[in-house]
Amino acid sequence: MAKLEMPVYGNFDVILHRIESGILGGSVSASLEDKSDFRDGDVRCSVRVFERYSWLGGNRVSLSVTLFQGPSGAIILSAIASGGSQAMFFKINTFGEEAFLDKIRELIV
């Protein structure tokens, strides 16, 4: 499992759209598995779960992306990639997970 958490700046909807379209357009095997959106006044939370095939790792990798905007307007991104390992009892070959997170970094910079 690989994780990225950081503040992001800009319009919530624009950031979310950039992430969705960038992930789906960045790999022919990428898919949006499910999504969820919540709002309570000024507080927003959007969750997206993506999946794609990792050619380098030879397996499927999932990416859960959460955008949270609190009452102050600050936006926090949490992205967690999982499923890239091929070992039974410990993690090896996490290239696909890191590559998924690299795509997120590319999209939000």
Question: Residue 13 sits in a domain of what CATH number?
Answer: 3.30.310
pLDDT digit string, tens, across residues 75-101? 999 999 987 656 555 555 556 677 778
Q: How far apart are CA 98 and CA 2, in angstroms?
A: 6
Tally of structural domains, the chain: 1
Q: How far apart are CA 51 and CA 102, in angstroms?
A: 15
pLDDT digit string, tens, across residues 13-38? 999 999 999 999 988 889 999 999 99
Range of the domain at 84: 2-108
What pTM was computed for the model?
Answer: 0.85
pLDDT digit string, tens, across residues 43-58? 999 999 999 886 665 6
Q: How far apart are CA 56 and CA 24, in angstroms?
A: 18
